[in-house]
Amino acid sequence: MMKSSVVGVLGVLAMAFTTVSMGCGDDGIKAGGRPVLEVYNLTRPVPMNGTVTVSGQVPANITIKNTGTSDLMIYGITTQSTPENVFVTLVDPTPSQAAPLVLKPDQSEYIDVLFDTSLPAGDHPTATVSIMTNATISGATTFVFRVTPEASSGRLMASPSTVDFSDVQAGETIIKPLSLVNVGSATLAVTRIVLSGHAGYEITIGGEHYVLDQTSAAGITLAAPISIGPSAAIEAELKYTASGPEEATADLIVFSDDTTTPDGTPVRLIANSEGPCIHVNPERVEFGPKLIGQEAIIPVDIESCGTGELNVQDIQMIETANGKYSVDLTGVTLPIAVGDKITVNVKYLPSEVATLGANGEFIRDLGKLKITSNAYLRDVTVDVSGFGTDGSCPTPVITCSEGNEVIPQTTLHCSASASTAGSGSITGYQWSVRQPNGSAETIRPSSTQRDIQFTANIIGTYTFVLDVFDQFGTKSCESKEYQVFVTSGEAIHVELIWHTPGDINETDTGFTIGGTSVGSDVDLHVLHPNASAYFDGTYDCYWLNKNPNWAGQGSLDDPRLDRDDTDGAGPENFNLNQPQFNTTYTVGAHYWDDWGFGNAFTTVRVYIYGQLRFTWNEVSLQHHDMWDVCTIDWPSGNVTAIGGTSPSIRHNYPIPF
């Protein structure tokens, strides 16, 4: 039974089908035409015998495109890897001489090149990918490019870097969260912490609890290092109990194998604090490509964020890249009153066109701005970078009005309007996005518009990449990246996503003109212990009961299902802000309708206060299966799989309507 029929019968929702207009015409192939092969790594062209880099976490996405006027035949794609099998190329279906892959003009095919870090790779692993075609490229019919591993490293960031407990009364305890985020491209390990300063502070990290004492001030080596994957995070809990009204400050230093912070990643802890505070914006000055011989300026704001005036004693460039960077203090008035700010201008005058480094990126001019004040952090340094260009390529700039950190289901509004093209104008845009595993969202209205929208549905890091083109068709020297972190502040957040191999396009939506869905329909269910069964009219939170009243104490203790995806991939999200104490909730997934697409491979993730506590990946469900996934106990937050290591699945689960 279609959901639309069920909802219509119950008078809950009216669903309108989207009609699809279809047309046909000629294929545009001209007599006497020829195929032309172009290869791209994301949006970057790959030349004959060029090099593509790939990390152990993210495959290299390769686009093969026919820009000619007749059919392009792909007779084979082979990979020669040294050592063997360290690099693997995935293409489906695999082309052969007997069954070639045929690309019409303007048609593309996509392949992925993976680097298997689980295999011994030696010092210099490499691979050669060969694409056999009927096109002639540099006098040959085989297009060849090399593959090498991307230089990867972990980089630890603490968020926030200053944890302010504000006013804490004697005997009162305040708890604050701390996120330790790996913003690098390789897994890092947290190995040691130092907690020193005013007594009364405590930290829970990696399941272990530590108080501020002589031992923590000397440094504590963790019993087991805590691994954080690329673009992932772990949560720590900071606690302060006041013994009096006095100002209390402490320093937490988190040590890891992040090679950029050999002295650790500092976090400042303050409570009942009065005095000056400094905040610098931006925290890093990125000029990007700038015309040689022309001065570029980026303003830097220095804000007084404390309870006492900020007395800045010195502002200077301590690293100038051989005089290319300077700071202009014209009009600066000191000291800075509480809540006020001053603006200084960092200037950049590149003198030569930057050269390409071994990694294919332009070598930057590096500088450093230092600000000395009477704030708790006496010296603040701001990294500065840029590189010179002759103006032959435009500069992309990304702005997203929602900022860098949002909650699931947020529609982002991003723009390339601030991009520049020297004395010319920007006439073309090319967007792409790297999404968390399981997200299948698309850029709207298209990836070639100046202003785009994108709905960030699941927790994780989304990296937007932008290239721009000027009126001569010249592409930007480097792509611009912008990261958005999606997290949840809910006590319980559950995600359901799925993959259906029979659905070749899981990004399309709606229904066909014949009334069938364009994708499979799996549903998330979360039961209150009072529920009689799934589909309970009150105590099952699911697509027909999205915001039930469970506890009767207002809206905060009531759950909500944010999204019902009826046409493939998901996600469906469950949220509960204030769970009931001494309560155990049950999570289930039901395959409502396969719509002829076959089995769905289903994944469920459970987050407690934004921290991933449970994942069960790729469980195969068939039409009308009910999967009892897990239970969530409150207030412990413990998540327990139902069925142990084997999924508990009931076939042909009865639907009561």
pLDDT over 70 at 547, yes or no:
yes
pLDDT over 70 at 629, yes or no:
yes
Count other Cβ atoms within 10 Å, centred on residue 283: 11
pLDDT over 70, % of the chain: 89
pLDDT of residue 6: 56
Q: What H or E segment, with its residue span, contains residue 484? A: strand 480-486
pLDDT of residue 30: 34
User: What pLDDT, in 10s, does the model give residues 555-581?
Assistant: 667 899 987 877 777 789 999 988 988
pLDDT of residue 18: 30
pLDDT of residue 559: 93
pLDDT over 90, % of the chain: 42
For residue 225, give the nearest of 274, 154, 285 by alpha carbon: 154
CA distance 237 to 209: 9
pLDDT over 70 at 58, yes or no:
no
Mean pLDDT for 259-269 is: 84
pLDDT of residue 151: 64
pLDDT of residue 453: 95
CA distance 322 to 305: 34
pLDDT over 90 at 191, yes or no:
yes
Can you spell out the DSSP letters for 245-258? SS-EEEEEEEEES-
pLDDT over 90 at 162, yes or no:
no
Contact 155, 175 (CB under 8 A): no
For residue 490, give the nearest of 404, 399, 552, 409 by alpha carbon: 409
CA distance 303 to 283: 12
Mean pLDDT for 47-56 is: 79
DSSP state of 325: E
* Low-confidence winner among 25-29, 180-184, 248-252 (lowest mean pLDDT): 25-29
pLDDT over 90 at 279, yes or no:
no
pLDDT of residue 3: 65
pLDDT over 80 at 522, yes or no:
yes
DSSP state of 282: S
pLDDT over 50 at 82, yes or no:
yes
Structure tokens of 278? 């400094």
pLDDT of residue 201: 94
User: What pLDDT, in 10s, does the model give residues 414-432?
Assistant: 999 999 887 678 999 999 9
Mean pLDDT for 146-156 is: 78
pLDDT of residue 395: 86
Question: β-strand 480-486 against 426-434: which pairing, if any?
Answer: unpaired
pLDDT over 50 at 377, yes or no:
yes
Higher pLDDT: 100 or 512? It is 100
pLDDT over 50 at 15, yes or no:
no
CA distance 465 to 442: 13
pLDDT of residue 29: 32
Higher pLDDT: 613 or 534? It is 534
Q: What is the dihedral of CA 450, 451, 457, 463, to 10 degrees?
A: 40
pTM of the model: 0.47
Mean pLDDT for 233-242 is: 92
pLDDT of residue 657: 77
Domains of the chain as residue ranges with CATH:
37-149 (2.60.40.10), 156-271 (2.60.40.10), 278-389 (2.60.40.10), 399-486 (2.60.40.10), 492-650 (2.60.60)
CA distance 642 to 588: 10
Contact 457, 439 (CB under 8 A): yes
Within 8 A by CB and 6+ apart from 31, the residues are: none
Confidence class for position 514, pLDDT limits 50, 70, 90 = low
Confidence class for position 595, pLDDT limits 50, 70, 90 = confident
Long-range CB contact pairs, 326-335, < 8 A, 24+: 327/369, 328/297, 335/304, 335/309, 335/310, 335/311
pLDDT over 90 at 252, yes or no:
yes
Q: What is the mean pLDDT of the chain?
A: 85
pLDDT over 50 at 97, yes or no:
yes
Structure tokens of 436? 């968390």
Higher pLDDT: 609 or 316? It is 316
Best-predicted range by mean pLDDT (46-50, 365-369, 393-397): 365-369
pLDDT of residue 235: 93
Higher pLDDT: 541 or 185? It is 541
Confidence class for position 4, pLDDT limits 50, 70, 90 = low
Structure tokens of 213? 């004492």
User: What pLDDT, in 10s, does the model give residues 103-138?
Assistant: 999 888 889 888 877 777 777 788 999 999 998 776
Can you spell out the DSSP letters for 183-242? -SSS-EEEEEEEEEESTTEEEEETTEEEESSHHHHH-EEEEEEEEE-TT-EEEEEEEEE-
Q: b/e for 410-420, b at 16 or more Cβ within 10 A?
A: bebebbbeebb
CA distance 567 to 577: 28
Confidence class for position 552, pLDDT limits 50, 70, 90 = low
pLDDT of residue 185: 66
pLDDT of residue 370: 96
Within 8 A by CB and 6+ apart from 196, the residues are: 212, 216, 217, 250, 251
